[in-house]
């Protein structure tokens, strides 16, 4: 059976991949391209990233409180780990949502700095994953009293957050590959450094 450390290694790899893919899109696309919508009912690249930022902020806030209160022990990293039943259903739900063109919540208004803000947030998420290595991923539950008794554990919630981010980046990438995606105007280009200054 995989250990908690192996589970966290896998999630760390996904976060690094998400960060690299987001940074690549931020550098390749102009402001107009980031804000372009394929249709009235589909989000733009920037809106996908703004949604991921908002979802990430909410999840990280929910995760940190029980993590801080939990018992910390470096030996937890070597403990066996598997999803809870609730975590398995959550992973199944993520697969069902794989082809949706919008997220499950309305994001704040997006700007051309949204991808850069997402990249910055991934650094915070990496720190959170490091902190989780000496916490019992299955023993710590996140959310309401009901969730703490029967809901997803810390390892489940981290996986749900990061896989949903992976899905969002995949949707943003699909937009860029559409045949009617607008060409880049030289004057509208935004570098990652410029976007971070305006974030």
Angle at 58 between CA 54 and CA 62, to 5 degrees: 170
Whole-number Cα distances in Å, 69 to 65, 66, 72, 191: 6, 5, 9, 40
69 vs 108: CA distance, rounded Å: 31
Classify domain 4-177 at the CATH topology level. 1.20.120
H helix runs in the chain, sequence order? 4-28, 31-35, 45-69, 85-96, 114-131, 145-150, 154-176, 192-198
Give the pLDDT of residue 198.
Answer: 43
C-beta separation of 38 from 180 below 8 A = yes
Res 196: pLDDT: 46
pLDDT score of 189: 45
| Total residue count of the chain as it appears in this document | 199
Structure tokens, 39? 């249709």
User: Two tokens at 11?
Assistant: 């999630």
Provide the 10 A C-beta neighbour count for residue 7: 21
Residue 194's pLDDT is what?
43
pTM of the full structure? 0.80
pLDDT at position 100: 56
pLDDT in tens, the chain (199 residues): 789 999 999 999 999 999 999 999 999 999 999 999 998 888 999 999 999 999 999 989 989 888 888 999 999 999 998 877 554 445 545 554 545 555 556 666 889 999 999 999 999 999 999 999 999 998 888 865 444 555 678 999 999 899 999 999 999 999 999 999 998 764 444 444 444 444 4
Please report, for the chain, the start and end positions of each structural domain, with discontinuous segments joined by +.
4-177
Three-state secondary structure call for residue 142: coil
- Whether 26 and 192 have beta carbons less than 8 Å apart is answered as yes
């Amino acid at each position: 059976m995989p250990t908690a450390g192996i589970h966290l290694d896998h999630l760390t790899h996904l976060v690094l991949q998400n960060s690299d893919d987001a940074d690549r899109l931020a550098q390749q696309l102009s402001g107009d391209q980031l804000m372009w919508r394929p249709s009235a009912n589909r989000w733009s690249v920037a809106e996908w990233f703004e949604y991921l930022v908002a979802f990430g902020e909410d999840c990280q806030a929910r995760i940190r409180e029980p993590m801080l209160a939990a018992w910390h022990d470096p030996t937890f990293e070597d403990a066996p780990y598997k999803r809870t039943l609730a975590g398995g259903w959550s992973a199944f739900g993520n697969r069902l949502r794989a082809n949706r063109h919008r997220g499950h919540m309305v994001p704040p208004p997006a700007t051309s700095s949204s991808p850069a803000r997402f990249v910055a947030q991934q650094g915070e998420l990496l720190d959170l994953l490091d902190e989780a290595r000496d916490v019992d991923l299955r023993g710590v539950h996140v959310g309401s009293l009901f969730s703490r008794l029967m809901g997803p554990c810390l390892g489940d919630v981290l996986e749900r957050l990061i896989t949903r981010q992976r899905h969002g980046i995949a949707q943003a990438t699909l937009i860029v590959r559409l045949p009617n995606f607008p060409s880049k105007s030289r004057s509208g280009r935004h570098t990652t450094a410029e976007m971070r200054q305006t974030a």
